[in-house]
Amino acid sequence: MNILVVGGAGYIGSHTCKALVAAGHTPIAYDNLSQGHDWAVKWGPLVRGDILDGEALDQVFARYQIDGVIHFAASCYVGESVADPATYYHNNVVGSWTLLDAMRRAGCLRLVFSSTCATYGNVCAVPIREDQPQNPINPYGASKLMVERMLADYRAAYGLQATVFRYFNASGADADGEIGEQHDPEPHLIPRLLDVAAGRVAQAQVYGADYPTADGSCIRDYIHVSDLADAHVLGMQGLLDGAAGGVYNLGTGAGVSVLEMIGVVERETGCRVPYAIHPRRPGDPAQLVADPRAAQRDLGWCARHSSPQTIVASAWRWYTRNMSEVGEPARTGA
């Protein structure tokens, strides 16, 4: 089938394109390259376009006869969303509405949507189940929750088949070293720690050491990007086979604190990772850990590559083999 991967040049989108090809599908990456990279599109064509451009989306649906859509395109940084909520509501909510209406015009009503654990906010119980209250504490989470509500309404009114994945901390890199994580600036913990391990940054920043956790630092559920990619393929295959869709957490069920992850990075890289404690960032909950049993039960999915050691080792391989001194991925073979 022809699958439109909106945000297909991004970190998770590019890994999902590779997994789609392995499953026998043709991914068409649609990306404005504001956060994605053309070197990451190695499987299927790249169409450069914006999710807010309905006419460009219409052309893609007509040209490629799209059978289903996987939607990753979004602004996705908590701190930035607090400082600039207008951008988040515009890109994430209006952009998703534009995509949904293009899908309706094309008669394509199968969608896998990349949501987030940030829709839960400060949770009342850990691990988090899909039926726990959603009370996001930052605009990023709120914007994703708004899209989830749109999908439910489009399902009721127009027959949209949608699978929503609320996933936790995407991390790691492709086992074959073909693609990996590279953002500018880099907001994610593990690649920032690798910068310190490699000696390119003097010390890591730990935001908050006074949370109600064992060591005072935030706890997160780290999920390997290849496991996320596999889930999106399974979710799309279910829709292609006639499933109605559903809402699923994607995580491991085990949390790792920031300070614990620093220890893992030091052991896997053999390098010291000096760090400094800074105040908490606005919008950061103390603990986010998934209950992934629904995805395991309904989709046959499991996190096979998501031990902290495997995640860090794969990210370090990508980093050392593919990143130049200025932090740009090597173009060899791209």
> Using N-to-C axis directions, what is the helix angle for 54-64 and 95-106, rounded to 10°?
40
Query: What tokens were used for 113?
Result: 């949507």
Q: Residues 6 or more apart from 72 whose CB is under 8 A from it?
A: 5, 6, 7, 8, 10, 12, 13, 16, 114
For the sheet with 256-257, list strands across it.
Answer: 256-257, 219-220, 287-288
Query: What tokens were used for 230?
Result: 């596999």
Please name the residue that has the structure tokens 């920031």: 258
Beta strands in the chain (DSSP E): 2-6, 26-31, 46-48, 68-71, 110-116, 161-167, 169-171, 204-207, 219-220, 222-224, 245-250, 256-257, 275-278, 287-288
* pLDDT in the model for residue 79: 82
140 classed as catalytic: yes
Beta strands in 218-283 (DSSP E): 219-220, 222-224, 245-250, 256-257, 275-278
User: In the chain, what are the domains?
Assistant: 2-170+223-250 (3.40.50.720)
Output the tens digit of pLDDT for each of the chain's 334 residues. Answer: 999 999 999 999 999 999 999 999 999 999 999 989 999 999 999 999 999 999 999 999 999 999 999 999 999 888 889 999 999 999 999 999 999 999 999 999 999 999 998 999 888 788 999 999 999 989 999 999 999 999 999 999 999 999 999 988 999 999 988 898 887 777 789 999 999 999 999 999 999 999 999 999 999 999 999 999 999 999 999 999 999 899 999 999 999 999 999 999 999 999 999 999 999 988 788 888 999 999 999 999 999 999 999 999 999 999 998 864 434 443 333 2
- DSSP character for 59? H
Let me know: does 88 contact 116? Beta carbons within 8 Å: no
Name the β-bridge partners of 48: 31
Let me know: does 326 contact 278? Beta carbons within 8 Å: no
Rg (CA), the chain: 19
* pLDDT in the model for residue 123: 80
Calpha distance 331→334 (Å, rounded)? 5
Q: How many CB atoms lie within 10 A of CB 242?
A: 8
User: Which of the following is catalytic: 120, 140, 248, 319?
Assistant: 140
Q: Distance between terminal CA atoms of the chain?
A: 25
- DSSP character for 124? S
* pLDDT in the model for residue 215: 96
Report field, pTM of the whole predicted structure over 0.85 = yes
> Using N-to-C axis directions, what is the helix angle for 258-269 and 189-197, rounded to 10°?
40
List the Cα angle 292/293/299 in 5-degree steps: 95
Let me know: does 2 contact 66? Beta carbons within 8 Å: yes
Phi-psi region of 217 (alpha: psi -120 to 50; beta: other; left: phi over 0): beta
